[in-house]
Structure 1
Amino acid sequence: MRVKSVRLPFVVLLAALPLAGCFSRTEPPPYSGADLTQDDDMYCRAGGKVAVGSPDYVYCRKDRDAQRNLAVTRANRKQRDLADWMLNHPD
């Protein structure tokens, strides 16, 4: 009888650990690191036509950041909508 009482909390713990990763949706995607910063820099320089620090360069970087934030927000909203739909349609 003692084995069954210990087994249930252990199984619940093992099931909860992988699901804990689903609750970290507020973090930016793992690909937003130094590589994206360099990519944004290369994109906004436009092949050497725009100098770093110029108004066009600053506007380009702000626009790229806004696009990335919008994509993250959209992905979070889709994840939340999917979770809501799954809660409302259990079958």
Structure 2
Amino acid sequence: MRPNISTRLIALTLAALVLAACASRNEIPVSSLGEDDDAICRANNVAVGSSEYVACRKNRDVQRGNAAAKADRAQRNLSETMINTPYKP
């Protein structure tokens, strides 16, 4: 029995969703550090373009980089643990 068009369409859609999930694995959501950086820095009554605003944005950038590095380290440690741990049924 040949699969009909709807079965092929469902299979193609599921494959696209799986590939899209893998492609977006490395993206860091804005909500990982709270809100938008600009909104947070403006909430502290800092004028846009001032040295305090620039320092605030740089600080937020460093925090985001540290969070990404921590997530990458955790993923790497998990994969190494899975590889190095023998399977015991």
Q: Give the TM-score normalised by structure 2.
A: 0.61
What does residue 66 of structure 2 align with? 70
Q: Runs of 4 or more off by more than 2 Å in structure 1?
A: none
Query: What is the letter of the counterpart of residue 82 of structure 1?
Result: L
C-alpha RMSD over aligned residues: 2.9
Query: What is the letter of the counterpart of residue 69 of structure 1?
Result: G
**How many residue pairs were aligned?**
68
Query: Using the alignment, how far apart are the partners of 1:52 and 1:90 within structure 2?
Result: 55
Q: Is the 8 A contact 2:47 2:53 kept in 1?
A: yes
Measured after TM superposition, the shift of residue 28 of structure 1 is 2.7
Unaligned 5+ segments in structure 1 are 1-13
1:5-48 Cα distance to aligned partner (Å, 9 max, x none): xxxxxxxxx9xx77x93x875x332x239xx8x7211110135x
Shift in CA distance, 24/80, structure 1 to aligned 2, threshold 3 Å: farther
What does residue 44 of structure 1 align with? 41
Query: What is the letter of the counterpart of residue 44 of structure 1?
Result: C
**Residues 1:81 and 2:77 aligned together:** yes
What does residue 30 of structure 2 align with? 32
What does residue 52 of structure 2 align with? 56
Q: Is the 8 A contact 1:28 1:72 kept in 2?
A: no
